[in-house]
Amino acid sequence: MEIVNVSDYEVVAKQKLPKMVFDYYASGAEDQWTLHENRKAFERIRFRPRILIDVTKVDLSTTVLGFKISMPIMIAPTAMQKMAHPEGEFATARASSAAGTIMTLSSWATSSVEEVASTGPGIRFFQLYVYKNRHVVEQLVRRAERAGFKAIALTVDTPRLGRREADIKNRFSLPPYLTLKNFEGLDLGKMEKTADSGLASYVAGQIDRSLSWKDVKWLQTITNLPILVKGVMTAEDTRLAVQAGVQGIIVSNHGARQLDYVPATISSLEEVVKAAQGRVPVFLDGGVRRGTDVFKALALGASGIFIGRPVVFSLAAEGEAGVRNVLQMLRDEFELTMALAGCCSVKEINRNYIQTEADMIRSISRL
């Protein structure tokens, strides 16, 4: 099959991967309403392009937490990438570095922070789950720091694992030849086969349900790395995040894998951006499959976006070359969108270039 866009990789991945693995990557929580809405909400946003603008040179580069990157398209943390391809996180790290962008490594990676660092230079963030055993958390953060990771993305939407029915039906568990590498030495690297989802049982046993804002403060005492909170969906929590002194916010519904019937992230973005009042950068993940999606997110105030599933699907299909291609296709589409909309640099993208459903309703009611 000829691959011409990011979504084509999902089709190939479905053919190549064992059902349990594909379903783990692809599925959402419960009715999967939010899973579909993450995509559909992008489709409801229209462009207001400007014409007769010299777009000979279009500059996609931007800065994230002071790091210059080639484009505002980064890699979200996705767990257990060696289920997709033997090279797993190594391949993703190399592809990300070659594209000049940021990779976020999952706590539940099948490669350790040290192993990923050994692939060579690159700007990398570390996604953190807070375990009941805080000593484990502290060790992990220290290791990420030592391995040269530049920020912590603290996942805040997972006191318990969402109900992912495909995983229950498939009795999902990490294949026995793999481990959660960051926890191998701590006897937390294996996942038992259970009567339902092995991951849900693992989370119930290990992840701290009592996690609260005071723990964000605690995290700031054990690391000087910037902390991004990943999983913010409301203005209220945005204000609390800013008060807590975090360095950034990732608007995320965990790929629609946690609470079903939350809005799409692109629908929640503007609320969060307005509440942040420019005091911290706001990023988005969830549902990005096109360069047009990237532009829409930036027009609504995001400083950049993260992609998750496209990475594991392309990894399954073609390994490192697949991930490189996904990043290149999104880059090319985003550059084309900018040119056709009449923008020569990322900082020129603003709210005037798009029209949301709310805008359309407002303009009709004015009539």
- Binding site annotation covers 257? yes
CA-nearest of 261, 252, 264, 345 to 298 is 345
- Binding site annotation covers 309? yes
- Binding site annotation covers 61? no
Q: How many CB atoms lie within 10 A of CB 352?
A: 9
Query: Which contiguous run of DSSP H or E holds residue 102?
Result: strand 102-105
- Binding site annotation covers 287? yes
239 with 143: CB under 8 angstroms?
no
Q: Which residue has the tokens 């609320």?
A: 271
DSSP code string of 202-247: HHHHHB-TT--HHHHHHHHHH--S-EEEEEE-SHHHHHHHHHTT-S
Say how far apart CA 195 and CA 100 lie, in whole Å: 43
Evaluated on CA atoms 101, 105, 106, 107, the torsion sign reads negative
- Binding site annotation covers 79? yes
Say how far apart CA 295 and CA 337 lie, in whole Å: 7
- Binding site annotation covers 288? yes
The residue length of the chain stands at 367
Say how far apart CA 205 and CA 196 lie, in whole Å: 14
- Binding site annotation covers 286? yes
Task: Tokens for 334, please give them.
Answer: 């985003």
- Binding site annotation covers 289? yes
- Binding site annotation covers 78? yes
- Binding site annotation covers 359? no
- Binding site annotation covers 155? yes
Q: At what angle do helices 291-299 and 309-341 cross, to 10 degrees?
A: 70
CA-nearest of 36, 20, 34, 17 to 168 is 20
- Binding site annotation covers 25? no
Instruction: Identify the active-site residue in 36, 85, 135, 254.
Output: 254
- Binding site annotation covers 158? no
- Binding site annotation covers 159? no
Neighbouring C-alpha atoms within 13 Å toward the C-beta of 126 = 28
- Binding site annotation covers 220? no
For residue 147, give every residue at least 6 positions away whose Cβ sits within 8 Å of its Cβ, in sequence order, or none. 113, 114, 116, 117
Say how far apart CA 105 and CA 243 lie, in whole Å: 26
Catalytic, 85? Answer no
Task: Tokens for 151, please give them.
Answer: 């920020």
- Binding site annotation covers 94? no
- Binding site annotation covers 24? yes
Point out the residues that are catalytic: 254
Cite the annotated binding site for FMN by residue number.
77-79, 106, 127, 155, 230, 252, 285-289, 308-309
Cite the annotated binding site by residue number.
24, 77-79, 106, 127, 129, 155, 164, 230, 252, 254, 257, 285-289, 308-309
